Amino acid sequence: MSLSTDSSKMERFEIFINTLCHSFIAITTFYLTWYCFHVGFSKLITYHVYFCTLGYQLMTEGILAMYKQNTLTLLAHTKAQKTFIHWQLQAIGSLLSVIGIIIQIISRNQLGKLHFSQTHSILGLVSFVFLILTIVSGCSALFSIELKKHLKPIYNKLLHNILALIAFITGISSIANAYLTKTWIKRNDPGELRYVMFWLVILIAFLTSIGPIKTLWHYMKTITKR
């Protein structure tokens, strides 16, 4: 069997896995959207859940947009096109997530509850901090050519990749934790679907992380060879 045949099979397999990931994202987004409208937006908690979840789903798509075998950006023939799509999704997703976090802080203040006292909120806080750092490093990575006199682009891109991966994993972990622990979801969950959503979110995190980890490994190999 030739190397080209093996490579072609691997590419098809990666496209299949990527399509599966998009399907899981669509299912979980549809479920959360339906659930939020089913419960109603009379309380701020609903807005927090909706904005944060939708935000992280868009950021997940933003990560996938940079993946070579991403089915939704196969027609984007240049890296610049993929980078543009990546930035658009990350910017909108980050904005929605920050709005969702601010809403929850306001809500807990009104109810007189402690902030960041549970696993869900602590993971969310960690993700938020690394999200801000990722945005800063992303801006510098976007203009890495102009900054190459001070910092080599590959080091900046490596840092951006690491920060983004941490922000993504902690953020998705926070969402997964909410499916299992939050009363707001347990109260009106039809047929214990939150357990299905929990495992779908875990699979999304795993499948989405493949691309960034491969890129991270590539950067590290490039650096060590220098």
Tokens, residue 192: 């214990």
* Domain count along the chain: 1
Tokens, residue 205: 């995190």
Question: What's the domain range around 65?
Answer: 3-225
What is the pTM (predicted TM-score) of this model? 0.90
Cβ neighbours of 135 (radius 10 Å) = 18
Orientation of helix 44-65 relative to helix 3-39, angle to 10°: 170
User: For residues 68 and 7, is the Cβ–Cβ distance under 8 A?
Assistant: no
Q: Kindly report the CATH number assigned to the domain that includes residue 44.
A: 1.20.120.1770
Per-residue pLDDT of the chain (226 residues; tens, 9 = 90+): 454 666 788 888 888 999 999 999 999 999 999 999 999 999 999 999 999 999 999 999 999 998 888 888 877 768 888 888 999 999 999 999 999 999 999 998 988 888 888 899 999 999 999 999 998 888 876 665 666 667 777 888 888 899 999 999 999 999 999 999 988 888 888 778 999 999 999 999 999 999 899 899 999 988 888 6
